[in-house]
Structure 1
Amino acid sequence: MTTISYPPKPSPGDRIAVISPGAGLPGLFPRPYELGLERLRKEFGLEPVEYPATRKMGSTPQERADDIHAAFADPDVRAVIASIGGDDQITVLPLLDRELIAANPKPFFGMSDNTNLLAFLRNAGIVGYHGASVMCELGRPGAMHPQTAESLRAALFTSGAYELQPAEHWNDVNGDWADPATFDAEPETRPGTGWTWVNPDRVVEGRSWGGCLEILGWLLMADREVAHDLTEYDGGVLLLETSEDLLSATEVFSTLRNMGERGLLQRFSALLMGRARTWSLEHPNSLQDAARYATEQREAVLRAMRAYAPDLPIVFDVDFGHTDPQLVIPYGGLVRVDGPARRITVTY
């Protein structure tokens, strides 16, 4: 199995690289981006460092790969964070210098399309961090969600165990970044609903793998950054969540079925399923339709898991991925799922 280790942590006052491995959306929507940079400086004490493609829409895969290399190779940069996700980071992977990055391990924070780079880093022996982007979480209107901020601060600056907590209040409805009025107040939130446990009869601990389900499907189709020797994932904790593209329940089931046919689902000791994103600007679901979507997704996941790993402990509605708050999960790091006690603890 790959030897995976945690990279050294930054300290307040250090420099943090801000890169756009997926899409240069800071160039289209500067308001949430600048707000996120300001919070990195004022609330976390870090100095952002930008690169040529960070704000450039339409950058080439090579330009984005060059920024990744520069960020990891710079000895004065102590951590790396994505500005946002995208939809074609997979084209960057073949251009990355694995030896250069492995020789300069640093904490990387990102999610969604950044599942690509997180999987790459895990295979290079580096624990990454699934969660936090400059535009979405740091650039949240009004203020960061306090649970997001607490989790990110712990992941950035501390090591050791951190117990995740269900959201006290949550949201998955976003305003239009093109409308300045979006940033006049915090998003409206709903009361937390807690987590839903299936097969909570044991305590398991393992190294995490997974990410955004859509991106995992693409990686599997392209045969990139997924181990051919599936024993690599034995005993691990599978992380899955879906994006604002709002995959249908049929698509969710089909992707999981195909993972099961490949023999992947059977390798893991537990599944953490992120709270389903149920709304987007393109699909502004009513509360009733949103609840129906989340229920249908849960049923699709259960149908697949019952077919391929019926005894696997599953926790639904964990607050990571495309939701608010967004808890940071170490990617390739240790995750402990305590079913009898209904507790999830990660190691930062």
Structure 2
Amino acid sequence: MTISATPVYPPKPVPGDRVAVLSPSGGLPGILPLPFELGLRRLREEFGLEPVEYPTTRKPDATPRQRADDIHAAFADPEIKAVIASIGGEDQITVLRHLDRELLRANPKPFFGFSDNTNLLLALRNLGIVGYHGACVMTELGRPHAMDPMTADSLRAALFTSGPYELRPAERYRDIDRDWADPATFESAPLTEPGGGWIWHGPARTVEGPAWGGNLEILSWMLMADREIARDPAAYEGGVLFLETSEELPGADEVFWILRNMGERGLLARFPALLMGRAKAWSFERPHDAEGRRRYASEQREAVLRALAAYAPETVAVFDVDLGHTDPQVVIPYGGTVRVDGVARRITVTY
């Protein structure tokens, strides 16, 4: 697998432009239309963009080939200025084999998505295209009642501007979800709780490099399938690793085992900095109470620290960064520059 050494930022859209809304993973817009329609409306009214749907955007049973065809159509259309995923899923890895890499390379566009969209983000990064980890239509744009201002500000900056953007810890965050099939869910603001700030670990030094990572479970699948990840870990030397876990709530042991395997492969030691997203600690299947959520997040942090101690003891790590499966959510430029200042305890991304 050939990896472009220095990814470039594709041209940004401007208000009034058309943007593709795709479902490269799950076609949940066809099953749960309420957050999807709300997200489309906000794209139009709050961001001034015109969303364009494709044949599989609302199709739950679309084949990997059909989803790849929509990706190709969106990237090849000169009137489409950005591509945004509706939501994640669990089988986007099956789409990768169908991608026309030369078409994508010849038509670079900003792609926004996270979770299972780690697959496409990593494929684009390998083609030399910076993508944007975050901001799906149903989850962030379709948030009940209103978008979180921190999410909206980060998304607006990533969509429309270029240059440095300083991240700040959320004062409050939401972990508990409500039923998207119930219209009452969208009539009031979600319940939030105090954020607690970032947790820093490791040497007080500054690291600046390209961002690489994404959802930990998806990365583990990609490693098992030998998809999109360089066999020579030196390809990632000096980068900033960012990781997050999903509403599947992987246990602390599983998180450690995945990181241990990445360590045995030589990956962890290549990254002098790690941004660990705030752990999603509640799901409908496991509705933890406040103490259960605190314990889950603490055990996950200890698992990460155990892996770092064994394989990357000099890595600067920051925990509870508002990226991934959390609300509010900041956008991370995949392959773009991230600066982790362990002295001043500041994080700056370049959009």
- List gaps (5 residues or longer) in structure 2: none
The code of the aligned residue for 2:350 comes to T
Q: Paired residue for 1:248?
A: 251
Q: Paired residue for 2:272?
A: 269
Q: Distance in 1 between matches of 2:8 and 2:113?
A: 18
2:187 to 184, 187, 190: 184
Q: Paired residue for 1:144?
A: 147
Q: Deviations over 1:211-257 (max 9, x none)?
A: 00000000000000001222210000001000000000010000000
1:302-317 counterparts in 2 under 5 A? 302-317=305-320
Shift of 1:184: 1.1
Q: Paired residue for 1:220?
A: 223
Q: Distance in 2 between matches of 1:266 and 1:115?
A: 21
The code of the aligned residue for 1:172 comes to D
Q: Paired residue for 1:164?
A: 167
More off after superposition, 102-111 vs 173-182: 173-182
- 1:175 correspondence with 2:178: yes
Q: Deviations over 1:133-177 (max 9, x none)?
A: 000000000000000000000000000000001001101111011
- 2:272 and 2:314 in contact (8 A); partners too: no
- 1:200 and 1:338 in contact (8 A); partners too: no
The code of the aligned residue for 1:168 comes to E
Q: Paired residue for 2:120?
A: 117
After TM superposition, the score normalised by the length of structure 2 is 0.98
Q: Secondary structure at the match of 2:51?
A: strand
- 1:87 correspondence with 2:90: yes
More off after superposition, 113-122 vs 229-238: 229-238
Indicate the percent of aligned positions where both proteins have the same amino acid: 71
Shift of 1:200: 4.2
Q: Paired residue for 1:54?
A: 57
Q: Paired residue for 2:348?
A: 345
The code of the aligned residue for 1:217 comes to S
2:104 to 97, 101, 104: 101
Q: Distance in 2 between matches of 1:235 and 1:23?
A: 34
Q: Distance in 2 between matches of 1:303 and 1:278?
A: 20
1:7-86 counterparts in 2 under 5 A? 7-86=10-89
Q: Distance in 2 between matches of 1:43 and 1:115?
A: 26
Q: Secondary structure at the match of 1:271?
A: strand
1:203-242 counterparts in 2 under 5 A? 203-242=206-245
Q: Paired residue for 2:295?
A: 292
Q: Distance in 2 between matches of 1:293 and 1:343?
A: 26
- 2:203 and 2:314 in contact (8 A); partners too: no
Q: Deviations over 1:52-103 (max 9, x none)?
A: 0000001100010000000100000000000000000000001001100010
Q: Distance in 1 between matches of 2:339 and 2:114?
A: 21
Q: Distance in 1 between matches of 2:141 and 2:203?
A: 34
More off after superposition, 195-204 vs 309-318: 195-204
The code of the aligned residue for 2:219 comes to L
Q: How many residues align?
A: 348
Q: Distance in 1 between matches of 2:228 and 2:49?
A: 31
Q: Secondary structure at the match of 2:294?
A: helix
Moved over 4 A (4+): none
Q: Distance in 1 between matches of 2:152 and 2:181?
A: 24
More off after superposition, 156-165 vs 168-177: 168-177
The code of the aligned residue for 1:250 comes to D
- 1:323 correspondence with 2:323: no
Q: Paired residue for 1:130?
A: 133
- 2:233 and 2:265 in contact (8 A); partners too: no
